[in-house]
Structure 1
C-alpha cells in the first residue's frame, strides 16, 4: 500500500480518533484533534508539486476484485493534485474556523467532525481514483456525507429538507454517471480512466459513446448544481457555515467540474460535448447571477452566486475542449486558453468564495442575522471583516488588482475567441457567448457590491440586530484573511500558480499536445476588447446597483407561480402519494400475504426459466443405493412435515417443525457431513426457542377461521414451491454445463487455504467475501428486529407493552431447581465445547459460525433456566456492540491484505515452532473467523433478548 492509499485512509482513521477524543477528553474541542489530518495531507501534497510540475505522475494500485478489473488504482497528476490541495488546504482552514464557530457545549461536535472527515476522505478518493468503480464508490460517499453535514442541525425542518433534496438530486446524477461508466467499460473492456483515454480513437464512433457521455454529464451537472439541477444548492445553505464554506465553495460542488475536466480527453472531440457543456454552463452563469441579486439573505445570495460561478467554470471547460478539433499546435493552444481560464478561476473561486462564506458566518455569529435588510454600517464596528469582505467581493466582481480580475479577463478572451472557430456552427452562433457572458458579469458585479455595501455601508441599525455587533475573535478571522490574502498575492504574482499548478493541470485536461503548455498571465495587454467589456460591466453594473433599491420586485425573492422548486416539491409529493396508494394495495400487514407474493414469484420466475430454457434437462443422474435407515428417516420426516398443517395448536406446529429440522440433522450424520450436522442441530435449537418466544404473543389458533379458499391457496403455494424446488434440484444434477467446482476445493483446500476442513476453508478463505456479506445481512436483520420491537408509535402503548411482557414472564423463566442446577454445570461444558469448535474448525469440524451458534445455545439455556433479566445482569454485554465489533474485525482482517499489495480478503498461513505447543499452524483466517464468531453471537442474542427480555 502506497502513501497515496494512506492519504485517503487517514481521514477515515481520524474518525476513530475523534470518537476516542470525545470519550477520553470531553473538555477538549474535538476540532483540535481533527486539525492534524488535513494539515499533514496538505503538506504532503505540497511536497508533490515539484515532481508533478516536472511531469512525474504518481501511480499506485492495490488489487480489490482483480477478476472484474476492479483495483484500488490511484493516480496523482496535475489535475488530481490541484483538487487535492483545495480539499486539504481549504479543509485545514475550515477546521480552524469551525473550532471557533461551533460551541462544544451546544453542538454534538464528534458527529460533526466524523461527517467532515468522511467527506474529506471521499473527496480525496474521487479526485485520486483512476478506476471508474472506485471513483463511483467515493462519489456516492460524498453525497451521503454531505447529506449528514447539511442535516447536522436536524432539529430544523429546513436543514432536513435541504439535505434530502441534495441527496436525491445528486444520487440521481450518480446513478446516471454509473450507467455511463458501465457503457465505457462495455466499449473498452477496462475500468481504468487512463486506459479508456488511450482507446478514444477506437471507440469514439461507437453508438454507445454519446449515451455514455450524456449519462456522465448528468452526474457532473447534478453535483455541480448546473441548471436545471441547481435547486438543491440554495436549500443546502441551511448547513452550518463551515460546511457551506467547505462543501459549497471549494470541494463538493467542484466534483462535477473535476469530472468534466477528467473526461475532457475522452469526449472533447465530440461537438455535442462542447455545445452541451459550454451552453449549460453559460445558462447557469446568467441564471444564477440574476437570481442572486434578488436575495435578501446573505447566504442565499452567496448560494446563487456560487451557482453562477460554477456555470462560468463549466462554460470555460466546454470552450477549452474545442482545442481537440485542431492538430496544429498553434491553433490548439489558441483555443486552450479557455481551459487555462477555467483552472485559474477554479482556484480563485475557492479563495474568494470561501472567504465570503466565512465572512457571512462571522456576520451571523456576531449580529444574529444574515438579512440584508437589517444590516448596514458594520464597517465601523467590524473593520477587519469588512476588509476581507471587500477583497473577496471585488475579486468575485472581477475588479483589479485581485486575481479574480485576471481570470474574468481570460473568460472574456475565451468567449470572444470561440467565434473564430469554423466548426459546429460556432462561427454563426458563437456571438451569443460574449453577449450573455457580458450580461452575466453585470449582475455578478451587482451582487458583489450588495455583499459589501448593503452589509457594511450605510447606517448601523442596532435595533434590528439580535446581538450587539463587534469584531470577531482572531480564530474566526484568520481563515478568511488567509484566503482573501491569496486573491491579492496571486493577483500580483499569478504566474506562481501558472507554473506549478495550472500548467500540470492543463496537461491532464488537454493531453493531446503532450503536456507542452506554457502559461503566462499578465495584467495588461493593451486596450483590448476585454478591457472595454470590463469598463462596460463596471459602468452598467454601477447603474443597476444604484437603481436596485427602486426595482421593487427584485428586492424580494418572491414566490413565482411556476418554478423548478415547485416542480420538485409537487413531483415528490405526487410520488409519495401514489406510491403510498400502490404500496397500500399489496402491503396489507399480513405476513401470510407477503409469503404468498414471495413464493408465487418464485414459482413463476423459476418455473418460467426452467421450461423456457433449451439448456435445462431433467435427466436423473445415477443414484446411490438407498439403505433401510434412510427410508425410515424419510418416512419420519414426512410424517412430521404433514403433522405441521394438521396441528391443533401453534405449540404443536413449532414442535413438529423442529422435529423436521432435527431429523434432517440425521441425514447429515449419515452422509458424513459433521459441520452441517452441528450447524443444523444448533440452528434448530435456537430457532425453535425464538419461535416459541414469538408465537406465544399471538392469539389462540382457531381452525374454524380457516375457510376453504384459505386452505386451497396455501396448498397450491406449498405444492408449487415443492414441485419447482424439486425440478430445480433435478435440473442442477442433469443440466450443469460446467464441471463441479467441488474437486477444486477438495484439492486446493490444504495447499492454498492451510486447512483440511474444506467447508470451513471455503467459508473463511475461498468464499470469505460472501461470508462477510452474510454476517452483515444478519447484523442488519437483528438491528431491524430490535428497531421494530422497541419502536413505540403511541405514548399510550409503552405501559401496555411493558405490562404485556411482564405478564408473559413465567413462560420465559422457570423455577425448576433441577434444571437450574444442571444448567450451572452444563453451560460451562457447552461454552468449552464452543471454544474447541472455534479453534479446531480450520482442520476439523467446527469454525466461527458453529462456535458462535454453540455459545448462543449456552446463553439460550441460561435464559430458559434463569430468565432473560438474570442473564442480562450476569452477562452485562450490549450484544449489538458485539455484532458491530465482530463485523469490524472481519472487515479489518480483509482490508489488512492491502498492506501486502494483495486482493481484499486474501489470507495467509504458516507453520511455526511455538513453546509447549511445538509445530503449530497460524492462519490469518482465524481472525476473520473470530469476527464471524462474535457477529453470530451478537446477532442471535440481540434477537433473543429483544423478543424475550422481561423489562
Structure 2
C-alpha cells in the first residue's frame, strides 16, 4: 500500500528525463500506466466481504507518530476514482496536449497531485493527512497555472491556492486540537473517543475549523469563487481536479469525520445549510455563463453542494445517496469536461454563443454529451445513473425526522423545496449545455477552426466514462454491495445494509419532485431569453469575486506600505528593530514566566588571572566604540575573541580554545580583507534621539544576555547529560575525545546540516566567481 502511494512520486522523478524523448514516444503513455497499475491493485479489495485494511510504517517513533494507511469502503471508493479517472485523464491528455508543450512539467505536476490525493484518502494519521492535503493545494496550483504565460492562469492558480491553503491552515488547527484532547493522532482512535471531543469546551471551534477546510476545498458557498477561475487550466486538469479528485477532498473530509461529528446539531445545521445554498446558487449561476467550462464549473459547484447537503442530513438514505452520487458525478462530469475539451480542440472556441449545430460535425461527441448531460440533469431514464442518486437525494430531503422544533424544524421543512429549486436549474444548465452546443443552427463561419470529429484516441476516455453512466444505470447492483454499501457504512460508523437501488418505486413523492423539476425546467429552458434579465438584479453588481479582489489588493497595498515604513535601506535601523524585538520579547517572556534565576552556591572562585582577562576583554569591547579607525576597531575587537580563548585554556577546555582561536583568526582576516577596500571612515553626526535609542538597545541587549546566561546556569530543570557522554562516547562513538564524539556522532544530524549549509555557500561563491569571469569574457 505504501508503494502504491509512493509510486506517482517515484515516477515523477524520472519524468523530466523521459520527456526528452517525447518526439519519439509521448510521455503520457508512461504516465497512464501508473494510475492503471494502482487501480488494478486496489480493485482486488472490491467485494461484499471486504474488511478494512490497516498498514503502519515507522515515521517519527520518538513522538509516537507513524505513517498509517487505512483502507475501508470510503477510502477504497476514492482511491478507485483517483486512479481510475486518473488513468483516463492521462490517456486523454496524450491527444489533447501537443508534443510542443512542456509535457515534462505537466506530468510531474499531475503525478504529484495524484500521489497527494491518494495520501489524503488513505491516511489515518491526521498530520500525515494534513501534509498530503497541502501537497494537493500546491500541486493543483502548479496544474492550474500550467499555462503560466496567460494572466488568467496565474490569477486562477493563485486564487485557488490562497483560498484552499487558508482552509488547510484552519484544518491543521482542528487536527492539533483533537490530537491534544484525545492523546492520539489516529483518526480511527479519535472516532472511538468522540464523546471526549463532543463534550469539550473547544468543540465548536474544532467543528468550524474542520468545516472551513472542507468547504474551501470543495468550493462551497461562499468559497466557491476559486473554482470557475481554475478553468483556465488545460481541460485534462479540469476533468481530473474538478470532477473526481481535488474538489471531492472536502467531501471526503466531512465523510471521514462524520462518525465523530454528525451527532451534533450544529453539524447538521452548518453542513446541510451550506450544501443546499451552494446547490441553489451554483445551479442558478451556471445558466448565466457563456463559456462551456464555466458552465461545467458552476455545475460542479452545485453538484458538490448537493452531496455536502446529503452528508449534512446524516440519515442512512442520505449518506448512501451521497457516496453513490460521488461516483455518479465523477462519471458524467468527467466525460462532460472531456467533451468541452474536444469542442474547444476541434472548433477553437468554448463560447456557447458561437457554437451550435455541432451534432452534424461531431456526432460521436454529441452522443456522449447527450448521455452525460441528461444523467447530470437527473432525467428519469433507466440507463442514466444520475437519476438514481438524484431521486435518493429527494427521498432523503423529505424524510428528515421532524422530531425537533424551532430553527432546525424550519430547515427540515425548507430543504425539500430548496432541493427542487436547485434541481430545476440543474436541469436548465444541463439542457443549456447540450442543446446550446450541439443543436440549433451551426455558426461555422464564426468559429476559428472548421469543426470535425475528434481523433478516436481522444474519444476513448469519455466513451469509457459514459459507458460507466449507462452500466451503472442499467445494473446498479453491480456496485452496490461491493462498493457503495461499504463506503456508506464507513461514513455512518457502523455496518449499513446496502440500500436497494431500483428505477421504479411507484408514483411517490420523490418521483413527483423529479417530474416537477423536468416540467418547470423545460419551461425555463424554452423561455430563457425572456427571463435571463433577472441576472441584472440578482446578483446584479454584487460579486464575491470583487470582495476577494479588493481584499487581496488592500492586503498587498497595506503590506507594501508597512514594509516601506521600516525597509528604508538603513542597516542601522534594521539592527535596532531586530535587536529591540528580541529584547522586548525575551524580557517579556522572562517576566511572565518568572524565568530569572540566580544561584551562586555552585560557582568556582575567581582568580586574579581570570579577572585580569575579563577586564581586558571589557576594555577592548569599550575601545571598539571609541576608536574612529575601522582597522583599529577590528584589531581591538579581536582582543575580545582571543581573550575568550584564554578563558577556555584557563578552564581546561583546549578543544574549545583551539576552535575559538581558529575562528577568531579567520574572522579577523576576513574582516581586514573586506574593510581594506572600503572608503575611509567618516564620522557621521547622529541626532540625540538616535544616540539615546542606540544606548538603550545596547544596554538592554547586554543586560538580556547577562540575565539569560545567569538563568541558564542557575536553572537545572533536568539532570546533567555529561555523565551519559562520559560513559558512552567511547562505547558508542569509538573515540577517546568526548567533544569530537559529541560533535560527529551524538550531534551527527546537526553537523550534517552545518556541512550542507557550508556546501551550499561554497557553491554560491563558486557561481559568483564564474559569473564574474563570464562578464569579463574569461
TM-score (normalizing by structure 1): 0.76
1:51-130 correspondence runs (5 A): 53-105=48-100, 107-130=101-124
Measured at CA, do residues 355 and 669 of structure 1 come closer, stay the same or move farther in structure 2, by a change above 3 Å?
A: farther
> Of 198, 203, 207, which aligns to 1:204?
198
Provide the secondary structure at the position in 1 that maps to 2:69: strand
Q: Deviations over 1:412-453 (max 9, x none)?
A: 111111154557765554221111111111111111111111
Counterpart Cα distance in 1 of 2:276 and 2:587 = 55
Counterpart Cα distance in 2 of 1:726 and 1:447 = 72
> Of 756, 759, 765, which aligns to 1:937?
759
**2:533 equivalent to 1:553:** yes
> Structure 1 residues 258-267 or 740-749, which shifts more?
740-749
**2:248 equivalent to 1:266:** no
> Of 566, 572, 583, which aligns to 2:546?
566
Counterpart Cα distance in 1 of 2:21 and 2:737 = 44
- Give the deviation of 1:238 after TM superposition: 0.9
Counterpart Cα distance in 1 of 2:674 and 2:29 = 49
Counterpart Cα distance in 2 of 1:410 and 1:440 = 15
Counterpart Cα distance in 2 of 1:80 and 1:404 = 22
Task: Indicate the residue corresponding to 2:247 in structure 1.
Answer: 253
Counterpart Cα distance in 2 of 1:315 and 1:559 = 23
Task: Indicate the residue corresponding to 1:597 in structure 2.
Answer: 577
1:643-792 correspondence runs (5 A): 643-657=623-637, 660-661=640-641, 664-665=644-645, 667-668=647-648, 676=656, 680=660, 700-750=680-730, 771=750
1:37-48 correspondence runs (5 A): 37-48=34-45
Task: Indicate the residue corresponding to 1:454 in structure 2.
Answer: 436
Counterpart Cα distance in 1 of 2:630 and 2:539 = 61
Task: Indicate the residue corresponding to 1:11 in structure 2.
Answer: 8
Counterpart Cα distance in 2 of 1:751 and 1:945 = 43
Q: Deviations over 1:115-158 (max 9, x none)?
A: 11111111111111111111111111111111111111111111
- Give the deviation of 1:384 after TM superposition: 1.3
- Give the deviation of 1:385 after TM superposition: 1.1
**2:204 equivalent to 1:178:** no
Counterpart Cα distance in 1 of 2:439 and 2:658 = 81
1:207-222 correspondence runs (5 A): 207-222=201-216
Provide the secondary structure at the position in 1 that maps to 2:399: helix
- Give the deviation of 1:254 after TM superposition: 0.5
> Of 33, 36, 61, which aligns to 1:36?
33
> Of 122, 125, 130, which aligns to 1:131?
125
Counterpart Cα distance in 2 of 1:699 and 1:471 = 74
Counterpart Cα distance in 2 of 1:301 and 1:410 = 25
Task: Indicate the residue corresponding to 1:493 in structure 2.
Answer: 475
**2:453 equivalent to 1:471:** yes
Q: Is the 8 A contact 1:600 1:717 kept in 2?
A: yes
Measured at CA, do residues 759 and 558 of structure 1 come closer, stay the same or move farther in structure 2, by a change above 3 Å?
A: farther
Counterpart Cα distance in 1 of 2:116 and 2:185 = 19
- Give the deviation of 1:283 after TM superposition: 0.5
**2:289 equivalent to 1:295:** yes
Provide the secondary structure at the position in 2 that maps to 1:63: strand
Task: Indicate the residue corresponding to 1:404 in structure 2.
Answer: 386
Counterpart Cα distance in 2 of 1:100 and 1:212 = 46
TM-score (normalizing by structure 2): 0.92
Q: Is the 8 A contact 1:295 1:556 kept in 2?
A: no
Task: Indicate the residue corresponding to 1:385 in structure 2.
Answer: 365
Counterpart Cα distance in 1 of 2:412 and 2:311 = 15
Q: Is the 8 A contact 1:419 1:426 kept in 2?
A: no
Measured at CA, do residues 466 and 63 of structure 1 come closer, stay the same or move farther in structure 2, by a change above 3 Å?
A: same
Provide the secondary structure at the position in 1 that maps to 2:55: strand
Counterpart Cα distance in 1 of 2:717 and 2:420 = 67
Provide the secondary structure at the position in 2 that maps to 1:71: strand
- Give the deviation of 1:703 after TM superposition: 1.1
| Cα RMSD after superposing both structures | 2.8
Measured at CA, do residues 603 and 340 of structure 1 come closer, stay the same or move farther in structure 2, by a change above 3 Å?
A: same
- Give the deviation of 1:292 after TM superposition: 0.1
Q: Which runs of 5 or more structure 2 residues have no equivalent in the other structure?
A: none
Measured at CA, do residues 700 and 360 of structure 1 come closer, stay the same or move farther in structure 2, by a change above 3 Å?
A: farther
Counterpart Cα distance in 2 of 1:7 and 1:557 = 51
Q: Count matched residues.
A: 771
1:291-690 correspondence runs (5 A): 291-319=285-313, 321=314, 335-399=315-379, 400=381, 401-418=383-400, 420-422=402-404, 427-511=409-493, 514-553=494-533, 560-614=540-594, 616-624=596-604, 633-634=613-614, 637-638=617-618, 640-657=620-637, 660-661=640-641, 664-665=644-645, 667-668=647-648, 676=656, 680=660
Measured at CA, do residues 420 and 727 of structure 1 come closer, stay the same or move farther in structure 2, by a change above 3 Å?
A: closer
Measured at CA, do residues 618 and 162 of structure 1 come closer, stay the same or move farther in structure 2, by a change above 3 Å?
A: same
- Give the deviation of 1:61 after TM superposition: 1.8
Provide the secondary structure at the position in 1 that maps to 2:353: helix
Counterpart Cα distance in 2 of 1:484 and 1:760 = 68
Q: Is the 8 A contact 1:295 1:557 kept in 2?
A: no
Counterpart Cα distance in 2 of 1:252 and 1:281 = 17
- Give the deviation of 1:655 after TM superposition: 5.0
> Structure 1 residues 604-613 or 229-238, which shifts more?
604-613
Q: Deviations over 1:331-352 (max 9, x none)?
A: xxxx301100000000011111
Q: Is the 8 A contact 2:113 2:135 kept in 1?
A: yes
Measured at CA, do residues 766 and 32 of structure 1 come closer, stay the same or move farther in structure 2, by a change above 3 Å?
A: farther
Q: Is the 8 A contact 2:486 2:496 kept in 1?
A: no
- Give the deviation of 1:357 after TM superposition: 0.8
- Give the deviation of 1:369 after TM superposition: 0.9
